[in-house]
Amino acid sequence: MSVDSLKSEFSRFLLEIGAVKFGSFKLKSGRISPYFVNLGVVSEGGSIWRLGEFYARALVELGLVSEVDVLFGPSYKGIPIVVSASIGLHKIFNISKRFAFNRKEAKDHGEGGLIIGRLGEGDKIGILDDVMTTGKTKEEILSVLSSIGNVKIAFVLIAVDRLERGETEYMATVEFHRRYGIPVKSIVTVLDVAKAALESGSITMKDMEAISSYLKTYGGKTH
């Protein structure tokens, strides 16, 4: 399997389950976007298995899996992602990795704390999530993980790169890398999914032009 094949298959999967939609959507930021990404639609066994399979393939094919001891999923959407990706790695590639995730609020009883899972001194961690809009959520996770001690964040892997700028002129993913020295990888970009949608007849060239126009306004620099 090649990375190009992975991108093509994953793009079709996202369209099939309605995780990426094209049209006109008002975002939290107030922007009117011609596309919308929502992995929250993955809510049954078949689709979560397939999602985990795609993340597992991406971890292997992008050469990321050997860089980490633990896969971490930020709550809430990152939790099913990291669990299914761990299962996918084991079932498809016979690679067993620890996984962990965080609570939104610390418990003061039972096992306590903010982290569920086994993280230790010196662990190398890969963060798995759905998208990165501004990087703010990931910054909060870095703060949580840094409280554990001497751990290293090796990368962030997201499903879809929206290609939009963060708080500066740079793309949110590039901005995050520049600020923290942590690379952000994606399985696909929104343009990969749009191309698959155009090929399948789900959208028209007019829709593609709207996406291009939107990214000219809100897209970020890569370097």
Question: Which ranges of the chain does DSSP label H, i.e. alpha helix?
Answer: 3-17, 45-61, 78-93, 136-146, 172-180, 190-200, 205-218
Is 109 catalytic? The answer is: yes
How many structural domains does the chain have?
A: 1
Q: Is the residue at 19 inside a domain?
A: yes
Spatial strand order in the sheet of 98-107: 113-117, 98-107, 70-73, 124-129, 152-161, 184-189
Q: Is the pLDDT of residue 149 over 80?
A: no
CA 71/CA 76 separation, integer angstroms: 15
Quote the domain boundaries for residue 181: 3-218
Interval 98-122: pLDDT, tens: 999 988 766 555 455 788 998 888 9
CA 216/CA 71 separation, integer angstroms: 34
Alpha-carbon separation of residue 26 from 35, 113, 212 (angstroms): 10, 36, 17
Say which of 28, 109, 216, 223 is annotated catalytic. 109
Q: Is the pLDDT of residue 97 over 70?
A: yes
User: What is the value of pTM for the model shown?
Assistant: 0.93
Is 177 catalytic? The answer is: no
Per-residue burial over 47-83, b = 16 or more CB atoms within 10 Å of its CB, e = otherwise: bbebbbbbbbbbbbbbebbeebbbbbbbbebbbbbbb
At 190, which CATH number? Answer: 3.40.50.2020
Backbone CA torsion sign across 174, 176, 181, 182: negative
Q: Is the residue at 223 inside a domain?
A: no
Q: Is the residue at 82 inside a domain?
A: yes
Q: How is residue 78 written in tokens?
A: 């990152």
Q: Is the residue at 52 inside a domain?
A: yes
Average pLDDT score over the chain: 91
Interval 49-93: pLDDT, tens: 999 999 999 999 999 999 999 999 998 899 999 999 999 999 999
CA 71/CA 95 separation, integer angstroms: 12
Nearest 5°: phi and psi at 159?
A: -75, -50
For residues 142, 25, 190 and 139, what is the CA-based torsion angle, rounded to 10 degrees?
-10
Say which of 28, 90, 104, 107 is annotated catalytic. 107
Q: Is the pLDDT of residue 143 over 70?
A: yes
Q: Is the residue at 132 inside a domain?
A: yes
